[in-house]
Amino acid sequence: MAEEPGPPSRGFQDCFNDLVDRRQRELGSAWDSVNRRSRRAEAARRAREEIARRIEVRGGRRYAASTIARWAARNHWPPGVENFWLERWATIDRAGGLAALARQLGSTVARVKTWRDSKDPSAPPPRPVTPKRPGEPTRIGVVVNGDAWVGTTKIEKKVPWLPDQTYQELTVEADSGILEAWFADNQDELKDLLGPVIADQVISDWHSANFYDVAYTVTEIILFLPNLDD
């Protein structure tokens, strides 16, 4: 007896339609009074532009929106980019975005990004974040650029600054808001919250801190490891 056929494999048209659906959901209130066909057409236009941008980021070449539309209509995979990468983006689109997929998986935006951009076609979706007991401090690792203040003297200082340090270990309290800012991908808030912790745990060890007040302002987050014990 012939084997029953499995479900049809997905193609580029499916990935494109997933993005069109997402863009249609994201249309603002100004589109509420517009008929469904026009809303769908606008969502498709935005999807073509976004797909072209994604392909350019991954493959280095910008294709015309009309080319994207033709590939989608013919269910033809774009050249120069991996099919599995476009499928990962489609998974993100169906969820409603990076943060939405991270919430569904119980993971973080950073882990979803790492999975999305992995060159391993068999890379599994990100694992859930291991929950910490309420009130338990967390050891994190950071590499940041910023400005240290010793009294009124401003010193441009990368943390860590020693060449043999891969990252700076910090201990953060459960109610610090740092991990919440990281999971929400709120970089500005994360910078603001990290500054006082770095001042207290790193800059305060300087000899000059015995004589002056110290502070630290984070200007760039290069690396953030949310749990060194995980």
224 Cβ neighbours under 8 A, 6+ residues apart: 110, 140, 141, 142, 182, 190
Distance CA 90, CA 125 (A): 13
- pLDDT for 1 equals 47
Distance CA 138, CA 180 (A): 12
Distance CA 199, CA 220 (A): 15
Beta carbons of 159 and 202 less than 8 angstroms apart: yes
- pLDDT for 142 equals 93
| Biggest alpha carbon–alpha carbon distance for the chain | 87
Strand partners for 153: 150
122 Cβ neighbours under 8 A, 6+ residues apart: none
Please report, as a single letter, which amino acid is at residue 214: V
- pLDDT for 3 equals 52
* Start-to-end C-alpha separation, the chain: 50
| Secondary structure (3-state) at 108 | coil
- pLDDT for 70 equals 97
- pLDDT for 28 equals 79
Ordered per-residue pLDDT tens for the chain, 230 residues: 455 554 557 899 999 999 999 999 988 788 888 899 999 999 999 999 999 999 998 888 999 999 999 999 999 999 989 999 999 999 999 998 887 888 888 887 778 888 998 999 999 988 887 655 567 888 999 999 999 998 888 999 999 998 889 999 999 988 888 988 888 888 899 999 999 999 999 998 888 777 788 889 999 999 998 888 76
Host H or E run for residue 144: strand 138-150
Dihedral sign for Cα atoms in the order 216, 219, 220, 225: positive
Q: Which two tokens stand for residue 6?
A: 């499995």
